[in-house]
Structure formats: structure tokens, C-alpha cells
Amino acid sequence: MTTTAPPGPAPRTITAVPTTSRATTRRREHTACAVLMAPFFLLLVVVFLIPVCTAVWLSFFGADQPGLGFGPERTVFVGWRSYAVVFTDPTFLAGLGTILGYCLLYIPLLVVGALALALLLDSGAVRLRSWAQLGLFLPHAVPGIIAAIIWLYLYTPGLSPVVELLARADLTIDFLGARAVLPSIVNIALWSNLGYNMVIFYAALRAVPREIIEASVVDGAGPVRTALRVKTPLIRSSIVVVVLFTLIWALQLFTEPMLLSLSSPMISSRFSPAMYIYDAAFTRNNYGLAAAASVILLLCTIALSYGVTRWSNRAGSRGEA
Amino acid sequence: MSTTELPTALRPRLLGRVVVNIVVGIGVLYTLLPVLWLLLAATKDRDALARSDVLSPGGFSFFSNLADLFREDAGLYGRWYVNSLLYAVLGAAVSALVSVACGYAFDKYRFRHKEKLFGLVLAAVMVPQTVLALPLYLMASGTGLVNTFWAVFIPVLFNPFGVYLGRIFSQGYVPDEVLSAARIDGAGEVAMYARVALPMLVPGLVTVFLFQLTAIWNNFFLPMVMLSDQKLYPVSLGLYTWNSSARVDPDYFPVVITGSLLAVLPLIVAFVLLQRFWRSGLTAGAVK
């Protein structure tokens, strides 16, 4: 621009034109950026930030009835009392224990199962590969509550062909009894999510450069060795993402036990932390208690997500070293 | 490799092939059979169901089940279905537009504290819905929105994962040169997004739409907290209520089963119609 500027008084205006126009462009860009982001951030504030802050705030307040419980109810600051109540409540601790057991059973089964299927599909030995993929993915299109309904009926004696078949073989398993109820719930979640996570792993495996696979074959590695020692480490980041999201979802366990609770005496109304929150808030109307339990659940989620990320980063740097 | 070695090298490979196909076949049976059971059970009358023989040909009554389904409780199921479609299709469409626009802005514009703000968006992905339900309920009852369409519709528009995907798609699909060219042509920034960038972002938009469609169609906790009027229920919550009734009144079993079958169809249709989009989207979301 400046090279074409003629001598004389003109340069001042000419150099001024680009700077002002650059400033207006930047301003216009900022306006556009704000316009494009505003709807999302409005939602973020209204349905995310305010509720999270409200939950924290609520957890420090409780309803107090002065005058031996005959006076009008009023909200008072109770400090950490709700947290103390939640942490000393055996039903909440049992709920945490349930979730722990659920995760320990569910996550390894899901990850190993989905990974194994993805590796098998990727091995090239499978016939009708796209049909197999479609069949495995199908449960993802079945809403969680309907998956729970289907399996509930498959667990119910008198309705279920599965129970019928087992009975013919002189096997009686009470799928909703004390010992089987947690595996039964794990089975519903596994059925719903196996194919979806298999597709994620399979997509990641397809992205692995073929030369690496060929190199390992040339080095004399068999198909099993290639799958476990070469392909699996290469899709480590996908595995971490799947573990992370599965963990976050697992902590919210609600739909399946809620539906099964009607049919199984083994599932109380405070079976999982999410059910505990629901029960505290909407059955017992104790908002302070529900909020405290929510905040604890949130902190557990953050801690575990952080833990998984840290663990994967450290394992990753060790693997590369 | 000599020819004498070939048979021994092939034999385990053939065996391996058979084993691989059997294992995958078992996996497919595991995922398909329950859906097949639902399909068959929906064609049976109550007596055939109670005898738990869905395979024998007798007692075919799919069409009378269907009629019963839409007659039960004065046609409540039809209402639930329309509600679900409204919550899910409309909600997912608006949500996808909002999220992808934001993701695009994160990718193409520079401003202060951008990465911190993006970190907030990612943190929101991690926060469980159960934590937000009680405060959202209190806010909704404070503003008089509780037990209305909006109490369920507004919260489901929020999709931080969609913003994350939108940013990735914007990086992949919208080259910066195209935008500079449009700027030189004098296009306004927002108009440029609508006319130039958005058409390029369609595959990303469809992916985010599908993710959110599935999530809203699955949504159970939020409607359960927010709604008490059965006429506003989505299918998921409605079937839950009917299933509770079925514990006392077995007449509800066939309608719950037929209703479940119909409730599965929209997502299957959506996945089949839009499969070339979500396959690429799934990869972008998980691999990066």
C-alpha cells in the first residue's frame, strides 16, 4: 500500500485508510464472533453455570423448623451439615459401593469386548463385515429405557424365553435376585453400548497406517501378536476416551435400576447415587441433602476424569520412552 | 516359503478364520436377539406372551396390538410420540445449529482467554445431568416453567460436546482461504458464515444433530423431574409409567411391548438415512 502512495500530503490519509479499515474489520469480526457464540453461551449460563452454583449454594442451606417443628419452615445456613449427613448415611455409602462394583464389572467387559470385536473385524477374516457391524450397532438405536424394558421382560419368569430355556435345562437363575441383580444391570448397559464403542475402535483401527501393520507382519508377528502388540497401543487415545466417557456415564446410573426396582426387591429407592439424589429431592423434599449428594457426585466425576487423564498421560509417556 | 510348508501354515489360519467368525457371530446374536424378541413379542397377544412362546405361529395379533396401543388411555401414546418427535427433532436441530456456530467461532476467530473459555465448554461435557436436575427444577418452578414443554425443551438444547465437534469439523471442512476470499468480496462476517461456511459444515451439522437426537430421544431423568402432566410426557417416560402399571394390570404388557417397538423405529430410520454422515462424525469425535 505505502509503496504506491504518491508523495505530498496524500500519504497521511492513505496510510490512515488501511489502519481504520483493519480496526473496523477486527471490530466486525469480534461482533460476528459474539453473535455466533451468544446463543450457546446464553444456554451455558442458564442451564449449566447457574444450576451448578445453585447446587453448591443449596448444599450449605437447609430447612429448619423452629419451635419444635411447629413453627413456619425457613431456610437457614447449615454449613457442612448436609455433607456430614450424606457421608454418614449408610444408604449413600452403599450406593457408592454399588457404583464401584458396577464400574469394576462393566468397564473392563465393555472395553475388552468392544476392542476384541473391533480387532476381529479389522483382521479381515470376518465375512459380511458391514452386516456384522450394523447388527452390533443396532442396540445403540434402542433408547436406554426400552433396552431396560426388553431385558426386564427377558429376566422375568413367565414372560422370558431365556428363563424358560434355562428351566428346561434344569437351571434356575433369578436374574433379579440378590446375587444376580448387579450383573443383570451390567448386561443391559453392555448390550446397549458394546456395538457403539466397537464402531469407535474400528474407526480408529482403520486410521492406523497400513505400512505399520505390514512391517510387523514382515517382522514375523502373527495376527494375534499384531493385534495386541501393534494395533492396540496405536489406538490408545480412543481407548482412553471410551473409558472416560463410560466412567462419566456409569456414575450417573439411574434409568436401568429405576425401571428394575419395580420388579426386584433387591433394588431400593437409593440403589445408586443418582437414585439417592432423586429420592432425597423429590420423595423426601430435602433439597439441601440432594444438593450435597449432587456436589459429591460432581467432585467424584471430576476426580475420576482427572485421574484417568493423568494415568493415560503417564502411561503414554512411559510407552513412548 | 516352500510348497510343502503351505498346508501346515494354512491349517491354523483356516481354523482361526472359523473361530473369528464364530466369535463375531455370537456377538451379533447377542445384540440382535433381544431386538428380534421385541419384534416377535409385539405380534403376540397377551396369552401367547404369558406362555413365553414367541416363536410358535399362534396368537398373531400385531394389528390389534397396534390398535390397542393407540386406544389405551384415550390415545395417550400418540401424544407422547408427537411430544418425543418435537423434543428430539426440533431440539436436536436447534441445538446442532447453536453448537456448530459456536464451534466455528472458536475455530476461526481469535480473542482473549479463548482456550480458557473452551476449557469451560469441555468441562461442561463432564458434568453429569443428575447434578443439574434439582437446580434446574427449582429454577423452572421459580419461573413458572415447570411442567411445561419448555422445561424439557430448553435444557436439551445445551450440547457442549457439539461445540467440540463443531470446532473440529470447522478445522477440517472450512479452509481459511475460502473465508479470506469471501472477505475480499466484501461479505459481512455473519452472512459469510451462513452462506459460505454453513454449507461446508453440513456433514458436521448432521453428526451433531444425530448425537443430540439420540440423547434427547433417550432422555428420561429430566422429563421425570420436570413433568407431572402425562400429556407432556415423551415416549420414554410414558412407557416407564405404563410398565409400572403392568405390574398390577397385565393388560398393559402388550401395549408396552408394541409401544417400545414403535419407539425404536425413528432412531433406526435416522441412522440408516444419515449413515454416511455419522460414520465420519464418529471418527472425528473419537480419534482426535
Q: What is the mean pLDDT of residues A227-232?
A: 83
Checking if the pLDDT of A11 tops 60, the result is no
Q: Tell me whether residues B50 and A248 touch, CB distance under 8 A.
A: no
- Compute the average pLDDT of residues A163-184: 81
Tell me what pLDDT residue A10 has.
42
Is B160–A44 a contact, with Cβ atoms under 8 angstroms apart?
yes
A36–B35 C-beta distance less than 8 A: no
Contact A43 B214 (CB under 8 A): no
Q: What pTM did the predictor assign?
A: 0.84
Q: Are residues A44 and A115 in the same domain?
A: no
Q: Are residues A37 and A133 in the same domain?
A: no
Whether residue A75 is predicted with pLDDT greater than 80 in this model: the reply is no
Chain A CA closest to residue B128: A252
Nearest to A305 among B126, B247, B253 (CB): B126
Are residues A131 and A257 located together in one domain of the fold?
yes
CATH of the domain at A212: 1.10.3720.10
CATH 1.10.3720.10 fits B71-287, yes or no: yes
Bridge partners, residue A63, by sequence: A75
**Domain shared by A30 and A131, yes or no:** no
Segment B248-261 shows an average pLDDT of: 84
User: Does A77 reside within a domain?
Assistant: no
What is the average pLDDT score of chain B?
84
ipTM of the complex: 0.84
Checking if the pLDDT of A14 tops 50, the result is no
**Do A53 and A196 belong together in one domain?**
no
Please state which of the ranges A62-66, A193-197, A251-255, B14-18 shows the lowest mean pLDDT.
A62-66
* Domain span including residue A151: 90-320
Residue B226 in this model has a pLDDT that exceeds 80: yes
**Most confident among A125-134, A156-165, B153-162, B175-184 (mean pLDDT):** B153-162
Distance from CA of A269 to the nearest CA of B (A): 14
Average pLDDT over residues B263-288: 72
Residues of chain A with Cβ-Cβ distance to B23 below 8 Å are 116-117, 120
Chain A residue whose CA is closest to B98: A40
pLDDT at B5 over 50: no
Exposed, middle or buried by CB within 10 Å (0-12, 13-18, 19+), for B206? buried
Q: For chain A, what is the domain count?
A: 2
Taking CB atoms and an 8 Å limit, are A254 and B138 in contact across chains?
A: no
- Centroid of chain to Cα A220: 39
- Kindly state the average pLDDT of the residues B39-54: 72
Q: Best mutation site among B36, B52, B55, B121 for testing chain A: the one with the most A CBs within 10 Å? A: B52
Would the CB atoms of B154 and A125 count as touching at under 8 Å? no
Q: Nearest CB to B98: which of A40, A116, A164? A: A40
Is residue A18 domain-shared with residue A160, that is, in the same domain?
no
As a whole number, mean pLDDT of residues B49-68 equals 70
> Does A148 lie in the same domain as A282?
yes
Compare B64 and B209 and report the one with higher pLDDT. B209
On whether any CB of chain B is under 8 Å from the CB of A109, the answer is: no
One-letter amino acid for residue A131 of the chain: W
Candidate from A145-154, A244-253, A312-321, B16-25 with smallest mean pLDDT: A312-321
Query: Which residues, including other chains, have CB under 8 Å from residue A219's CB and lie 6 or more apart?
Result: none
Contacts of A47 in chain B (CB under 8 A): 132, 136, 154-155, 157-158
Same domain, A53 and A101: no
**pLDDT attached to residue A157:** 80
Best of A112, A134, A153, A301 to substitute, by most chain B Cβ atoms within 10 angstroms, is: A153
A223 and A110, same domain (yes or no): yes
Question: Which pLDDT band holds residue B223 (cuts at 50, 70, 90)?
Answer: very high
User: What per-residue confidence (pLDDT) applies to A104?
Assistant: 94
Report pLDDT for A5. Answer: 42
User: Is A75 contained in some domain?
Assistant: no
Mean pLDDT across A287-298: 91
Asked whether residue A291 falls in the same domain as residue A199, the answer is yes
In angstroms, the CA B158 to CA B155 distance is 6
